[in-house]
């Protein structure tokens, strides 16, 4: 066979075979909104106030407002300072953001009065290093943290429990699960809650489901918080999602009325992916989402493109825009769970680079979340990081002396909590008359990596059991009682302490997590006081000693042995 | 925006569960210190005891205001009003606020019920505002259309 194909170099063949060339890249198409953050079609900033009411927003008169404009004008922007703040030159605001001599509070006094287009105008001036510098100061909680996913390709509750336990032990402050088969949810949510508390008392858990079901599990005290409350930057896509800013604001209050922590979810690329970006850039639309969340009075936001990361990832400057959207959430004083979740690239180098703008400055939750199960078991369509990356992550933390929320844990401790989580769930299922967990499953769970390493469960019985959890009205209190009466006193106490928190409402405040001694830590009592070198959160002391440990570190005094 | 009374709590009072447990009661009137393991095991506690009381949400609203977060405080005040509404009705109300789920009249009735039956004026105002915007943006239910 003859070929007319021109000869390619061996170098090209090598490059063609690199994983990065399996990723998708496209040209910008601003008319359709396929552009990260620099579009001629985005509006110019403007605001006009009459009789204590915003009557013009970013070039639009009130009569022409869509519902996003209306909600933002009515609820998000501080009317009293809007004209004055929006009149400040954007370059001055951008400089305030990176100036260590300007406190976080001083910046917030300006950002509260800015319009969406003005905020875009400010962050457009910033390169990625400046975005990171600003994030370091504007993150709401002083101490950074991380969130993990614990899911199972077979929805196996035993796996979810033990991987939650290991994840909690390794340092995740929050754990999230979701399902392949939605009807499994009650069993898996119980498993996550129990496993999480075994790993580290005070870890908060959630189960991502359709809005109404997610709320019901929360109301029952089976989960501790919620996050999958999606919002969108155009009216048409918001309506396609069967919600409005008012329905979502009502839902936010519904969660708070039950004492349940909650954040919204949004991200660049969702509108263009759902086919109606109305010709606006991804970041402009995301800023509208962020301000809508602010206006609803929700304490925080999960953003950073999230499940649409392939879209900004494919266009020029897209990952800079993703870093900018995290910054905007923080600079309007919202908790930011900053993405680095869904699978993003075939290239390890690119996956790591995508993380740097969140890991280096620190965010409220660097990942939202990190897959605490192998990627094939991740039911959120995979994550940017997974269990195989644990040692790499810990090494990067040690190399750069940054706190990404995790730590190395010795094998013996890992096996101990995995075994205990499996046994606790086994005892609880028996107590609640749910489908049995065998000793073989406990043994497998202790040493397993993926769902393939577990004996198969009887799915039909499990689904019947899951249904009975809902029908019998089982609540978090029943879980506490079950754990206590089956001899898992410490786990029961931990879960009761988490449930007790909803009576206090302390976890409703911005960026709240629970420490290992059950102290609520939020933007109120852990204020980000960054003011330049030597200030703010520093990885030092006991925590730094902890992060110096890796799987293999050679002893300084005896090179034949390893420490750690 | 209506003027709120000046906050009595300051940011230094947070977290209430540690600094002011004496201020915290369940909706059933029990002090938070009564939520013990013994009480769980003996069956003294019900799920109702693990809910937040409207008074506590008002305290958290004060803390949010004192920390410069007026929207968060407003959310807590709506939440305080909502504690009186049963779970199923809260979900039904949320569903009624979805696009084209309710007519103008139905949203009006919902606002009246919130304001009247539940003494929830802040929530009622949110629903009235939604009704007004939905009318303008064609997001009210069309009672006779779309039957098929």
**pLDDT at position B8, please?**
87
CB A300 within 8 A of CB A510: yes
Length, in residues, of chain A: 564
CB A208 within 8 A of CB A229: no
Residue range A363-368: mean pLDDT, rounded: 98
Residue range A198-216: mean pLDDT, rounded: 92
Question: Residue B82: which of A253, A296, A502 has the nearest Cβ?
Answer: A253
From A56, A69, A121, A176, active-site residue: A176
**pLDDT at position B147, please?**
45
pLDDT by 10s per residue, chain B, length 148: 444 444 589 999 999 999 999 999 999 999 999 999 999 999 999 988 999 999 999 999 999 999 999 999 999 999 999 999 999 999 999 999 999 999 999 999 999 999 999 999 999 999 999 999 999 999 999 876 554 4
Of A243, A347, A320, A346, the closest CA to residue A289 belongs to: A243
From A341, A441, A462, A506, active-site residue: A341
Residue A154 has pLDDT above 70, yes or no: yes
CB contact under 8 A, B18 and A235: no
CB contact under 8 A, B99 and A510: no
Residue range A344-352: mean pLDDT, rounded: 96
Helix (H, G, I), strand (E, B) or coil at A341: coil
Q: A300-333 pLDDT, tens per residue?
A: 999 999 999 999 999 999 999 999 999 999 999 9
Residue found under tokens 């370091």: A136
Quick one: closest CA in A to B54, which residue?
A257
Residue A564 has pLDDT above 80, yes or no: no
Is A149 designated active site?
A: yes
As a whole number of angstroms, the distance between CA A125 and CA A45 comes to: 14
Distance from CA of B2 to the nearest CA of A (A): 12
CB contact under 8 A, A254 and B94: yes
CB contact under 8 A, B139 and A239: yes
* Residue A151: Cβ-neighbour burial (10 angstroms; 0-12, 13-18, 19+): buried
CB contact under 8 A, B137 and A505: no
> CATH for B86-148?
1.10.1510.20
**pLDDT at position A211, please?**
79
Contacting residues of A for B71, CB less than 8 Å apart: 75-76, 294-297
Element (H, E) at A94: helix A90-98
Contacting residues of B for A197, CB less than 8 Å apart: none
CB A183 within 8 A of CB A465: no
* Residue A439: Cβ-neighbour burial (10 angstroms; 0-12, 13-18, 19+): exposed
Element (H, E) at A176: strand A174-177
Of A393, A388, A386, A387, the closest CA to residue A407 belongs to: A393
Q: A106-131 pLDDT, tens per residue?
A: 999 999 999 999 999 999 999 999 99
% of chain A exceeding 70 in pLDDT: 99
Q: How many CB atoms within 10 Å of residue A20?
A: 13
Q: Which two tokens stand for residue A167?
A: 């994840």
Query: Domain spans of chain A?
Result: 47-126
Q: A373-415 pLDDT, tens per residue?
A: 999 999 999 999 999 999 999 999 999 999 999 999 999 999 9
Where residue A3 falls among pLDDT bands split at 50, 70, 90?
low
CB contact under 8 A, A249 and B50: no
Distance from CA of B133 to the nearest CA of A (A): 7
Radius of gyration of chain A (CA): 24
Is A75 designated active site?
A: no
CB contact under 8 A, A299 and B72: yes
Distance from CA of A482 to the nearest CA of B (A): 9
**pLDDT at position A213, please?**
82
Contacting residues of A for B111, CB less than 8 Å apart: none
Residue range A439-451: mean pLDDT, rounded: 98
Quick one: closest CA in A to B72, which residue?
A297
On average, the pLDDT of chain A sits at 97
Quick one: closest CA in A to B73, which residue?
A297
CB contact under 8 A, B91 and A215: yes
As a whole number of angstroms, the distance between CA A339 and CA A331 comes to: 17
Contacting residues of A for B78, CB less than 8 Å apart: 250, 253, 256-257, 297
Residue range A474-502: mean pLDDT, rounded: 97
CB contact under 8 A, A509 and B64: yes
**pLDDT at position A435, please?**
98
ipTM: 0.96
Residue range A465-480: mean pLDDT, rounded: 97
Contacting residues of A for B11, CB less than 8 Å apart: 524-525
Is A342 designated active site?
A: no
Residue A69 has pLDDT above 60, yes or no: yes
Contacting residues of B for A522, CB less than 8 Å apart: 14-15
* Residue A205: Cβ-neighbour burial (10 angstroms; 0-12, 13-18, 19+): buried
Query: Domain spans of chain B?
Result: 7-83, 86-148
DSSP class per residue in chain B = -PPPPPPSS-GGG--HHHH-GGG-B-TTS-BGGG--HHHHHTT---GGGGS--HHHHHHHHHHHHHTT-HHHHHHHHHHHHHTTS-HHHHHHHHHHTSTTSS-HHHHHHHHHHHHTTT--HHHHHHHHHHHHHHHHTT-S--TTSS--
Quick one: closest CA in A to B129, which residue?
A246
Distance from CA of B72 to the nearest CA of A (A): 4
Distance from CA of B24 to the nearest CA of A (A): 6
CB A384 within 8 A of CB A358: no
DSSP A557: S
Of A222, A220, A169, the closest CA to residue A194 belongs to: A222
% of chain A exceeding 90 in pLDDT: 96
Residue partners of A111: CB distance under 8 A and separation at least 6: A85, A93, A119, A331, A332, A333
Residue A31 has pLDDT above 50, yes or no: yes
From A147, A230, A494, A511, active-site residue: A147
CB A424 within 8 A of CB A479: no
Where residue A1 falls among pLDDT bands split at 50, 70, 90?
low
**pLDDT at position B47, please?**
87
Is A509 designated active site?
A: no
Q: A41-54 pLDDT, tens per residue?
A: 999 999 999 999 99
From A302, A358, A494, A501, active-site residue: A302
Q: Which two tokens stand for residue A525?
A: 């009592």
CB B50 within 8 A of CB A476: yes
Say how many CB pairs under 8 Å bridge A and B: 199
Residue B109: beta bridge partners? none
CATH architecture under which domain A47-126 falls: Orthogonal Bundle (1.10)
Q: A87-103 pLDDT, tens per residue?
A: 999 999 999 999 999 99
Q: How many CB atoms within 10 Å of residue B25?
A: 17
């Amino acid at each position: 066979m003859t070929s007319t194909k021109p000869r390619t170099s061996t170098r090209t063949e090598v490059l063609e075979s690199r994983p990065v060339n399996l990723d998708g890249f496209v040209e910008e198409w601003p008319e359709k909104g396929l552009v990260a953050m620099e579009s001629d079609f985005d509006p110019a900033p403007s605001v006009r106030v009459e009789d204590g009411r915003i009557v013009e927003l970013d070039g639009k008169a009130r009569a022409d407002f869509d519902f996003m404009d209306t909600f933002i004008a009515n609820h998000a922007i501080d009317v009293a300072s809007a004209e004055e703040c929006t009149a400040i030159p954007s370059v001055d605001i951008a400089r305030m953001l990176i100036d260590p001599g300007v406190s976080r509070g001083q910046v917030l006094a300006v950002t509260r009065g800015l319009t969406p287009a003005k905020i875009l105008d400010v962050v457009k001036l910033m390169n990625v290093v400046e975005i990171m510098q600003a994030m370091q100061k504007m993150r709401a909680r002083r101490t950074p943290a991380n969130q993990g996913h614990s899911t199972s390709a077979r929805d196996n509750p035993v796996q979810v429990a033990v991987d939650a336990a290991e994840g909690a032990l390794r340092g995740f402050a929050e754990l999230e699960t979701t399902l392949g088969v939605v009807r499994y949810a009650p069993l898996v949510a119980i498993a996550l809650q129990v496993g999480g508390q075994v790993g580290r008392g005070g870890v908060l858990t959630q189960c991502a489901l359709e809005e109404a079901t997610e709320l019901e599990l929360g109301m029952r005290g089976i989960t501790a918080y919620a996050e999958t409350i999606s919002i969108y930057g155009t009216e048409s896509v918001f309506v396609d999602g069967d919600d409005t800013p008012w329905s979502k604001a009502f839902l936010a209050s519904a969660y708070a009325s039950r004492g349940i922590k909650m954040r919204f979810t949004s991200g660049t690329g969702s509108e263009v992916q759902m086919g109606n970006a109305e010709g606006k850039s991804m970041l402009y639309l995301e800023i509208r989402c962020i301000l809508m969340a602010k206006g609803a009075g929700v304490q925080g936001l999960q953003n950073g493109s999230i499940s649409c990361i392939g879209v900004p990832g494919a266009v020029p400057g897209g990952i800079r825009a993703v870093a900018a959207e995290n910054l905007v959430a923080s600079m309007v004083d919202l908790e930011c769970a900053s993405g680095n979740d869904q699978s993003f690239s075939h290239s390890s180098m690119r996956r790591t680079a995508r993380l740097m703008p969140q890991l280096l400055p620190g965010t409220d939750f660097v990942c939202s979340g990190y897959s605490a199960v192998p990627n094939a078991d991740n039911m959120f369509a995979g994550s940017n990081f997974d269990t195989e990356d644990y040692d790499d992550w810990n090494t990067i933390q040690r190399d750069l002396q940054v706190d990404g929320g995790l730590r190395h844990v010795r094998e013996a401790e890992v096996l101990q909590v995995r075994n205990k989580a499996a046994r606790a769930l086994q005892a609880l299922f028996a107590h609640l008359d749910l489908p049995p967990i065998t000793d073989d499953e406990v043994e497998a769970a202790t040493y397993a990596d993926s769902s393939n390493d577990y004996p198969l469960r009887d799915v039909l019985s499990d689904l019947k059991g899951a249904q009975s959890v809902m029908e019998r009205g089982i609540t978090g209190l029943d879980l506490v009682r079950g754990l206590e009466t089956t001899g898992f006193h410490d786990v029961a106490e931990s879960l009761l302490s988490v449930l007790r928190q909803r009576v206090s409402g302390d976890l409703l405040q911005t960026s709240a997590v629970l420490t290992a001694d059950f102290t609520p830590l939020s933007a109120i009592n852990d204020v980000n006081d960054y003011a330049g070198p030597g200030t703010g959160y520093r990885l030092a002391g006991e925590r730094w000693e902890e992060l110096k440990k890796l799987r293999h570190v050679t002893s300084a005094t005896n090179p034949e042995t390893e420490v750690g | 925006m209506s003027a709120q009374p000046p906050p009595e709590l300051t940011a230094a009072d947070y977290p209430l569960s540690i600094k002011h447990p004496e201020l915290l009661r369940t909706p059933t009137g029990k002090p938070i210190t009564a939520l013990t393991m013994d009480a769980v095991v003996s069956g003294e506690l019900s799920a109702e005891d693990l809910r937040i009381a409207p008074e506590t949400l008002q305290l958290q609203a004060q803390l949010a205001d004192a920390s410069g977060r007026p929207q968060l405080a407003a959310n807590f005040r709506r939440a305080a009003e909502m504690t009186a509404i049963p779970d199923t009705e809260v979900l039904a109300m949320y569903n009624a606020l979805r696009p084209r789920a309710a007519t103008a009249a139905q949203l009006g009735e919902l606002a009246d019920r919130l304001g009247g039956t539940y003494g929830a004026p802040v929530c009622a105002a949110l629903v009235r505002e939604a009704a007004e915007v939905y009318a303008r943006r064609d997001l009210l239910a069309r009672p006779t259309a779309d039957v098929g």
